[in-house]
Structure 1
Amino acid sequence: MRMFLAFRAEVERLLMDALQNTYGDSALSALTAHTAPHELERLLEIDMESEHADISSRIAFSLSKILRENPSKISAEIVKNIEIPENSLVSSVKAVGPYINFYASELFFEKSLREILGGICFHRKGRVIIEHTSANPDGPLHIGHLRNACIGDALARILRHAGYDVETQYYVNDMGKQVAILVSGMKYMKIDEKKKIDHAIAEIYVKANKIIEEDEEKMREVEELMRKYEQGDAETVRKYEEVVEKCLNGIRETLHKLGIYHDRFVWESEFVRSSDVSDVVKALERSGRLIVHGNAVLLKMESVDKDLVIRRSDGTSLYSTRDIAYHRWKSERCDFMIDVLGKDHELVAKQLGEALDILGVKRPEILIFEFVSLPEGSLSTRAGRFISVDELIERAVARAYEEVARRRDDIDEERKRKIANIVGIGAMKYDMVRVSPEKNMVFNIEEAIDIEKKGAPFIQYAHARASSILREAEKRGISDDGVNKNDLKNDLKIEHSSERALLMKLAMFDAVILRACDERKPHIVAKYARELAEVFNQFYRDCAVLSARDDIRSSRLLIVKCVRSVLKTSLNLIGIEAPEEM
Structure 2
Amino acid sequence: MCMSNPLARLREECTRLLDEALSEAYPGTELPSSRFSQPPSPEMGELSSAVSFQLARTLRSRPAEIAEKIAEKVKPSDLVGSAEAVNGYINFKADVEGFSELVLETATMEAEEYGFLKTDKPERVMVEHTSANPISPLHIGNARNSILGDCLARLLKRRGHEVAIHFLVNDVGRQVAMTGYGWQLLGKPKPEGRAELWVGTIYAGVNVVNQLTRLRKELRQAEERGRVNEIAEHQEEIEDYEKAVVELRNRYADVYDALAERLPEIEDPEAEIVKLNTAYENNDPEAVKDIREIVGYCLQGFETSLGELGIGFESFDFESDLVWRRAAEEVLEELKATPYVFVDDGALILDCDRVAVDMGLKERWGLNLEHEIPRLVLVRKDGTTLYALRDMAYSIWKFGLVDRVINVIGSEQRLPQLQLRIALAAMGRIEMGDNQLHYAYELVYLPGVKMSGRLG
**Pairwise CA distance, 1:202:** 1.9
Partner of 2:101: 110
Partner of 2:194: 196
User: How many residues are paired up?
Assistant: 370
Partner of 1:144: 141
**Per-residue deviation, residues 333-360 of structure 1 (Å, max 9, x unmatched):** 1121211111122122111111122223
Partner of 1:489: none
Partner of 2:166: 169
Partner of 2:414: 346
Partner of 2:125: 128
Partner of 1:77: 69
For residues 360 and 8 of structure 1, do their structure 2 counterparts lie closer, same or farther at Cα, with a shift above 3 Å needed?
farther
**Per-residue deviation, residues 119-148 of structure 1 (Å, max 9, x unmatched):** 147543221111111111121111111211
Partner of 2:315: 264
SS at match of 1:94: strand
**Per-residue deviation, residues 526-555 of structure 1 (Å, max 9, x unmatched):** xxxxxxxxxxxxxxxxxxxxxxxxxxxxxx
CA distance in 2, matches of 1:4, 1:271: 48
8 Å Cα contact 1:137-1:179 kept in structure 2: yes
For residues 17 and 222 of structure 1, do their structure 2 counterparts lie closer, same or farther at Cα, with a shift above 3 Å needed?
farther
Partner of 1:384: 455
Partner of 1:94: 84
8 Å Cα contact 1:64-1:70 kept in structure 2: no
Structure 2 residue corresponding to 1:255, chosen from 302, 306, 323: 306
For residues 316 and 181 of structure 1, do their structure 2 counterparts lie closer, same or farther at Cα, with a shift above 3 Å needed?
farther
CA distance in 1, matches of 2:346, 2:210: 25
8 Å Cα contact 1:27-1:66 kept in structure 2: no
Spell out the pairing of 1:355-434 with structure 2 (5 A cutoff): 355-361=423-429, 362-363=432-433, 364-373=436-445, 379-382=450-453, 384=455
8 Å Cα contact 1:198-1:247 kept in structure 2: yes
8 Å Cα contact 2:56-2:62 kept in structure 1: no
CA distance in 1, matches of 2:442, 2:28: 46
The residue type equivalent to 1:94 in the other structure is E
Spell out the pairing of 1:9-48 with structure 2 (5 A cutoff): 9-15=12-18, 40-41=34-35, 44=36, 46-47=37-38
The residue type equivalent to 1:153 in the other structure is D
The residue type equivalent to 2:71 in the other structure is V
CA distance in 2, matches of 1:182, 1:78: 74
1:51 has 2:42 as partner: yes
**Pairwise CA distance, 1:20:** 7.8
CA distance in 2, matches of 1:199, 1:182: 12
CA distance in 2, matches of 1:224, 1:65: 78
Give RMSD over aligned pairs. 3.6
8 Å Cα contact 1:8-1:55 kept in structure 2: no
CA distance in 1, matches of 2:131, 2:67: 53
**Pairwise CA distance, 1:276:** 2.7
CA distance in 2, matches of 1:305, 1:192: 48
SS at match of 1:103: strand
The residue type equivalent to 1:75 in the other structure is A
Partner of 2:375: 307
- The higher radius of gyration belongs to 2
CA distance in 2, matches of 1:267, 1:91: 60
SS at match of 1:245: helix
SS at match of 1:169: strand
**Per-residue deviation, residues 89-148 of structure 1 (Å, max 9, x unmatched):** 323212244543212234433232222111147543221111111111121111111211
CA distance in 1, matches of 2:65, 2:172: 68
Instruction: Could you tell me which runs of 5 or more consecutive residues in structure 1 were left unpaired when the two chains were aligned.
Output: 30-36, 386-582
The residue type equivalent to 1:355 in the other structure is A
SS at match of 2:303: helix
For residues 357 and 23 of structure 1, do their structure 2 counterparts lie closer, same or farther at Cα, with a shift above 3 Å needed?
farther
CA distance in 1, matches of 2:376, 2:278: 21
Partner of 1:331: 399
Structure 2 residue corresponding to 1:209, chosen from 207, 210, 229: 207
CA distance in 2, matches of 1:174, 1:98: 63
**Per-residue deviation, residues 138-180 of structure 1 (Å, max 9, x unmatched):** 2111111121111111111121122111111111111243212
1:183 has 2:234 as partner: no
CA distance in 2, matches of 1:48, 1:330: 44
**Pairwise CA distance, 1:256:** 0.7
CA distance in 1, matches of 2:57, 2:208: 69
8 Å Cα contact 1:7-1:89 kept in structure 2: yes
**Per-residue deviation, residues 1-60 of structure 1 (Å, max 9, x unmatched):** 22222212333454466668768999988xxxxxxx7xx43xx4x117842244232627
Spell out the pairing of 1:236-247 with structure 2 (5 A cutoff): 236-247=287-298
SS at match of 2:374: coil
1:322 has 2:390 as partner: yes
CA distance in 2, matches of 1:161, 1:151: 15
Partner of 1:528: none
CA distance in 1, matches of 2:19, 2:400: 43
**Pairwise CA distance, 1:278:** 2.4
CA distance in 1, matches of 2:325, 2:23: 62
SS at match of 1:372: coil
Shifted more, 156-165 versus 55-64: the winner is 55-64
**Pairwise CA distance, 1:287:** 1.4
CA distance in 2, matches of 1:160, 1:290: 40
Partner of 1:540: none
SS at match of 1:186: helix
SS at match of 2:352: coil
Instruction: Could you tell me which runs of 5 or more consecutive residues in structure 2 were left unpaired when the two chains were aligned.
Output: 216-266, 357-371
